[in-house]
Structure 1
Amino acid sequence: MIKKPVTIQLSEGLDARPIALLVQEASQYSSNVHIEIDDKKINAKSIMGMMSLRLCPGEEITVVTEGTDETAAAEGIEKFLVNVKNR
């Protein structure tokens, strides 16, 4: 299991389009991918779950991956969240 803290770096937070792209990114991996914030743990492959988080700019989350490609999944999700403004 990998737990990686990431700060949302998008001036307007994650709205519907970036969240849909994030779910697509997470779905590429066979590992379980979750986003943790406060006391919530949401499956990053669930569009409805991710929409419920309402992530804001500067907010710190934890990316949790577990499975055969957990390292690649953690790196891919982190890269997405850091570069989301370029998408």
Structure 2
Amino acid sequence: MTEKNYTITSEQGIHARPATVIVGALTNFKSDVKIEYRGKQANLKSIMGVMALGIPNGASIKITADGEDEAQVIKTMDDIMKKEGLAE
């Protein structure tokens, strides 16, 4: 299992558009990918799960990936977080 923490720097937090980008980018990975915020966890391959967390600006989140391509999942998340301006 690989995990990484992020602090959300986007003023809007993780709203519908970036959540859609994240879910779309991770759908084809084989690893189980979770996002955690304030003790609640959601499947990061589910737009409804991500949106239900209501992640605002300044939030600390943890991404965990467990599976054969977990390292690539985390690299993809790093790229998306920077590209979408969600975290530094």
TM-score (norm 1): 0.88
Deviations 1:16-60 (A, max 9, x none): 111111111121311111001121111000111011011111211
Matched residue count: 86
Query: 1:4-15, aligned counterparts within 5 Å?
Result: 4-15=4-15
Equivalent runs, 1:23-38 vs 2, <5 Å: 23-38=23-38
Give runs of ≥4 in structure 1 deviating > 2 Å. Answer: none
TM-score scaled by length of structure 2: 0.87
Aligned-residue CA RMSD in angstroms?
A: 1.5
Unaligned residue ranges in structure 2 (runs of 5+): none
**Higher helix content, 1 or 2:** 1
Q: Could you tell me the percent identity over the aligned residues?
A: 31
Q: CA deviation at 1:85?
A: 2.6
List runs of 5+ in structure 1 lacking aligned partners. Answer: none
